[in-house]
Structure 1
Amino acid sequence: MSKSSYLFTSESVSEGHPDKVCDRISDSIVDLYLAAEPEARVACETLATTNKVVLAGEVRGPASITHEKLVETARRAIKEIGYEQEGFHWKTASIDCYVHSQSADIAQGVDAAGNKDEGAGDQGIMFGYACKETPSLMPAPLQYSHQILKLMAEDRHSGKVKGFGPDAKSQVTLLYENGKPVKATSVVVSTQHDAGLEQKQVRELVRPYVEKVLPKGWFPSEDEFYVNPTGKFVIGGPDGDAGLTGRKIIVDTYGGAAPHGGGAFSGKDPTKVDRSAAYAARYLAKNVVAAGFAEKCVIQVAYAIGVSKPLSLYVNTQGTGTVDEERIVKALGELMDLSPRGIRKHLGLNKPIYARTSSYGHFGREPEADGGFSWEKLDLVAGLQAALG
C-alpha cells in the first residue's frame, strides 16, 4: 500500500470496563466536591477488584464531605453502571477510603497569592486534536468504536435488550485511501453476557449496533466481524480483571490518531492542567478545523508547576493548513487566556460535570446546557476567521 492507503485501528471500552468503573467513581467524587465548593481541589484515585474498591488521593474541600459520603458516592456510581453481580455488587462490595488532605507544598504552588496568579498544578505537556473525518471532528475509528458501545449500554439500561452485561470492549479497523476512511475491514466487539447465551446469540445481539453505527456499505466481511472471540464472557468487570483510574488515556482522547502527553483526566479537578489544558487544546484544535483553516490540527501546550503562563503553544496542521501555523498560534493566544485560571473561566470548568466524561470519550460529544463538554463549542470560529481570513 502507498502511504496514502493504510489501515488504522482504534478501540473503546464501556462504562463497565474495570478501568472505567474506577474513572467513573473518581469523577463522581470530583463532582461531589465541586458541587459543594467550586474551588475545591481533588486528586482521587480508585482501585477495583473482586467485590473490593479502594479510594485514595488528596483533597481540599468542605469538612462536611466525610469518608462515609465518599464511600456512598462510590456505591452510587457502581449502581448506576449496573453492577449487581456476585463478584462485584454495589451493595455488598467492601470500599476502603484513604483520601486525605492536599499537600501544603503543592497548594502553595498552585494557589494565587499577592501578585502571583494561580499556577499550574503540575508540569507537563497536553495535546489537542481535530480532523474532518466525522461531523464531530474526531477520528472515525474511535468515534465508531465509542458509538457501538454507547448504543449497547443505552439499550441495556433501558431494558430494550436483555443479555448484555456492563463490561464490554470494541475495536474498529478502517481502510484509508488518499488519507480518508472508505470502509471497515474488521470490527471486534467483546461483551459480558448472561450465562445462558451462546456465542452465536451474542453475535446476533451485537450485529445491529455495528450496522447502525457504520456508514452504509462499510460493514466488514463476516470472517472479519469478531464477537467474543474467546467464546464466552460471563465473568467480567472488576471481578474478572482489576481496574485503576487513568489507564485508558488513549480511549479517552483520540484513539492513537494524535499524540498524548501522558496525563490522565479522571479524578482531577480543573486546576490540574492534565485535564483542563487538554480540554483547552481540543477546543482550540476543533475551532481551527471548523473555521476552515486546516483538515487536521494538532495543538500542544506545556506548563511548569506553580507557573501560570504556558511555556509553549505549538500548532501542526499536518500539511493541511491554509494559513501559516505561526499566524494560528498568534491568533489563538489572543483569543484565549491559556493560564490555568483563564482556561477554567473561559470554559466554565468549576462545575460538577465530570462523571459523564468518564466513558465513551472526553471529546467528540455535544456541548450541554449545564456546561458539560463546553470544550466542544465552536464559539471561536468567527474570531479566528476575522483574525486569519
Structure 2
Amino acid sequence: MGDVELRAIRGRDQRGISFVSPGDWNESNKIAVLSLPRRTVYSDIRLTDRAPSGHIVIDAKLYDSLSCSNEEIVSVIPKDIEPRACKELTIEVRSLAGIENERVRDAIAERIEDLRPHLDGLIVAEGQQIELHGLSLRLTIVTVSLLESEERIGRISWPRLESIRLIGGRIPRLNAFVILTEMSHSHSLGSGGTIMGFGDTETPPYADLLMQFLMGLKAFSTSHSTDIVASVAAYSSRTDVFLTFNPDSGEQQKWSNIDSPAYLEAVRSWLLEQKENHSSQPSNPSSALEEAFLLVHQMRDDGLSPVSVVLLTTGRYSEGRNPVSILRDGPEDLTVFSLGLQSASDEDMLDAISEASAGKAFIVGGSADLRTAIENMIQILGRRMSVDD
C-alpha cells in the first residue's frame, strides 16, 4: 500500500500510536510518517474497528505537534523501518507561555523524570518538534544518538535512555533569499552533464544545483528552528519567477517559506516546465539580477530582513550588460553568493560577481564538491543568522 490521505481525529495519550480502520491500511505497515505542510511526525500504526473509515485517530501529542485541526486531511506515508532505542538525546526547550527559555530549561533539568510520560515510546527524528500543550512547551529534537546504529531516527525507551541534554531555545530568526537559476543551454557544459540526477542529459544542470541548495537550506532551517523564505527564479534571456499562493489571502506571491514538504516538489515540477521556455535562449544574468533587485526591495518592504541573492550560473553572458557592472545599481548592503559548475563556469566572472557584493563564489566539479560547497555556504549563512540585529 502506498501513501494514503486520512482525516485527523485527536486521540488521547496513546504513547505515539495512531489508530486506523483495517480497510484503510495494510496491516504489514506498522510505522508511518504523518505529514502536513510545515510539519511531519513518526507514528506507530495500529488497526482497530473503532476507528471511523477514512480517518486516523492520532496520539494527542503528535496531533498537537502537527498543529492539526479536526477532520484535516493528513498524508500517511508507510515506512518500512524498525527504529532502535535512543541512547542520548539533545532537546531544545522553548516556552509557549512567554517564560525565558533558559529558566524553563533549568527547571525541567531538575525534574527530568517529568518528561517520561510525555516522551516514552515515541519515535523521534532530528529536527522533529513535539508540542506539550499541558506544560506549555515546545520541544525540538536536535540530535539523536542510538544504541548500535548511526541512524538519526530512533525510539525513546526511557529505561534504555542514558542521557538527555537540554538547551534553551533561541527566538526564531527569519532570513530571506532570492535564488536565480540559469536555465539556458547556450553555453557548452563540457563533460559535466547533469551531476545530481535531476533528469536526463538535456536537463539544465543548474536545476540540479537549485534543488540541492534548497534541500540544504531546508535542513538548516529545521536543525536551527529558523524560518527561511525564498524567492526562486529561472533565467535565460528572460526571467521567470516561481509563484506560490499566500495561505491566508489566497493571492499569488513571489516568495514562500521553504519549510513546507510540498514546496520542493512544486519547485521541481516548475523547473521541468521552465526547460521549454529557456533551454534554447541566450543567457542574460544582468537582466536576472535586475529582477532580483526588484524582489529584494519588495521583500524588504514586506518586513523580510536580511535578504541575500544566490546566483546559480555559468557566469557567462551572451546578451545584456556585464553582470559585475549591474551590481553597482543594486540595493544597499546586498550580498550576492555565486555557485557554478567547474565544467561550465567562468570562474573569474563568478569571483568578480561575489567580490563586487561582499559575497563568495563556489565552484563545484561533481556531487562531492557540491555537497561541500553547500555545507560551506550554509555555514556562512548560519553565522549571519546567529548575529543579533
TM-score of Structure 1 vs Structure 2, range by shorter chain: under 0.3
TM-score by length of structure 1 reads 0.22
Structure with bigger strand share is 2
Tell which structure's C-alpha radius of gyration is larger.
2
